[in-house]
Chain A
């Protein structure tokens, strides 16, 4: 699946997007965050406060317990500051 990162999440990880293949045991957004956290220093820094991180699946907001199966694109980003 394709993963996108925005704002300081993008800066800390050091890339805007990538394709990942998490193991089948990773079923929810929260589990994906935990799995990504273990992928390196930048990831650990980006996700150091997982409760702050917002997520979207296929361009719609989702909660941490949302299942990721079938997702084409998952995005992680800080709380939004538009308007």
Chain B
């Protein structure tokens, strides 16, 4: 059966269980499905956050995620993958991002999901702004995220 690659960039929430089910529905060649959900936290260290506002680059966001999805499909024997990334205002406890990978065996599914998340963090054109009691500020990129993405190129 053909591999199914789904990439969506959207303001609305998504149903994690439904997305996992959709990827494996009606198939008997998938032995492993890995999903990663990124959620909005209610604090950054000790500072309470009322919301995250995600800005994105329409067009490039989809294209950049698709480029990494295709690279994941080329590097691992995957039966399919789904990436959904939200933009706009997201409050604590809500979903931000979902990565689902499906393969015959677990290792490819685990590794591809981690690869996709590491690249989304550093290469997908999204920017988080935290809303706090005293206004807000842009989230700074973290050097450990760059290091996490770099290990896939070595």
Contacts and interface: CB of A to CB of B under 8 A. Distances in A.
Nearest to A79: B141
> Number of contact residues on B: which range applies?
20 to 34
Interface in A56-77: 56, 59-61, 75, 77
A80 interface: yes
Contacts, number: 73
B57 A59 contact: yes
Given A81-B140, A83-B121, A7 B60 contact: no
B55 A80 contact: no
Interface of B: 38, 54-57, 59-61, 63-64, 85, 96-97, 117, 120-129, 138-141, 145
Nearest to B137: A8
Contact of A82 (B59, B120, B138): B120
Given A8-B138, A61-B64, 17 more contacts: A4-B57, A6-B57, A56-B60, A60-B64, A78-B127, A78-B138, A79-B122, A79-B141, A80-B121, A80-B127, A82-B54, A82-B56, A82-B61, A82-B125, A82-B127, A83-B85, A83-B117
Interface of A: 4, 6-8, 56, 59-61, 75, 77-83
Contacts of B141: 78-81
Contacts of B128: 81-82
A82 B97 contact: yes
